[in-house]
């Protein structure tokens, strides 16, 4: 038995998210993002304090149109994109759930099943670059997490639209006094991720 952390980006949850709660048994498709190097160490699975993982195990060709491997570190299987030689690999970084991965032509993934023992909601950190347009804000990482019990209830979940606002949006000619925020006053984009702890 092992414990892993894996991340799920906000847009993937909002696009096609399953409701999950602590205690659920789930199966997830995982890919890896981080540092990868050849290793002579034995298979190893270790959780890191930052939500990352240290995983050591053999990688085999994923047989995809783009270079990729499937790595199996103990009971943890995940996909790695890039030109890496098959063989024993040490992988230090983040496991990401891929809801648009194999078999739909997305990134190579490995399948892992287990029981959720914890969930965190982690807002993203962005900085103002001083540039204009799409380059104004740059993603730099994630803040510390807030523990949550299920994915239906998290601090950044938007409130339902009010009936008054729905009416104003449907009939703008009746509400000429509404002031819109200009692009130069636009707040930074918001984003977040879930970090799941899974017992496998």
Structure-token pair, residue 133: 């347009």
- Compute the chain's Rg from CA coordinates: 20
pLDDT band for 31, please (50, 70, 90 cuts): very high
- Is residue 159 helix, strand or coil? coil
pTM for the model: 0.82
Q: What is the pLDDT of residues 150-186, one digit of tens each?
A: 998 888 776 666 676 666 666 666 666 655 554 455 5
CA distance 12 to 99: 7
Q: What is the per-residue pLDDT across 83-128, written as a single tens digit (0 to 9) for each?
A: 999 999 999 999 999 987 655 566 789 999 999 999 999 999 988 8
Lowest mean pLDDT segment, chosen from 26-30, 60-64, 172-176? 172-176
Is residue 175 helix, strand or coil? coil
Total number of domains in the chain: 1
Q: What are phi and psi of 97, to 5 degrees?
A: -75, 135
Closest-CA residue to 78 (of 100, 99, 109, 39): 109
DSSP strand E in 84-191: where?
A: 87-97, 110-128, 137-142, 146-148
Range of the domain at 133: 1-200
Core vs surface per residue 43-55: b (16+ CB within 10 A) or e: eebeeeeebbbbb
- Please count the other Cβ atoms lying within 10 Å of the Cβ belonging to residue 12: 17
Local confidence band at 188 (pLDDT 50, 70, 90 cut-offs): low
Task: Look at 60-64, 91-95, 143-147 and tell me which has the smallest mean pLDDT.
Answer: 60-64
Measured between alpha carbons, how far is 108 from 29 in angstroms, rounded to an integer?
9
Nearest in space to 94 (alpha carbons), one of 193, 7, 182: 7
């Amino acid at each position: 038995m092992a414990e892993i952390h894996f991340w799920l980006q906000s847009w993937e949850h909002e696009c096609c998210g399953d409701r999950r709660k602590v205690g659920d048994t789930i199966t997830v498709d995982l890919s890896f993002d981080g540092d990868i190097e050849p290793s002579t160490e034995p298979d190893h699975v270790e959780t890191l304090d930052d939500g990352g993982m240290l995983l050591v195990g053999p990688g085999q060709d994923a047989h995809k149109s783009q270079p990729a491997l499937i790595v199996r570190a103990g009971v943890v299987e995940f996909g790695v994109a890039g030109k890496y030689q098959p063989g024993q690999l040490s992988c230090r970084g983040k496991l990401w759930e891929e809801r648009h991965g194999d078999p739909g032509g997305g990134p190579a993934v490995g399948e892992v099943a287990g029981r959720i023992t914890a969930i965190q909601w982690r807002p993203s950190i962005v900085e103002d670059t001083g540039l204009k347009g799409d380059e104004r804000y740059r993603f730099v990482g994630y803040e510390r997490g807030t523990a949550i019990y299920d994915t239906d209830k998290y601090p950044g979940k938007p409130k339902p639209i009010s009936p008054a606002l729905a009416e104003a949006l449907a009939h703008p000619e009746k509400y000429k006094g509404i002031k819109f925020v200009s692009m130069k006053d636009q707040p930074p984009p918001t984003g977040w991720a879930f970090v799941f702890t899974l017992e496998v």
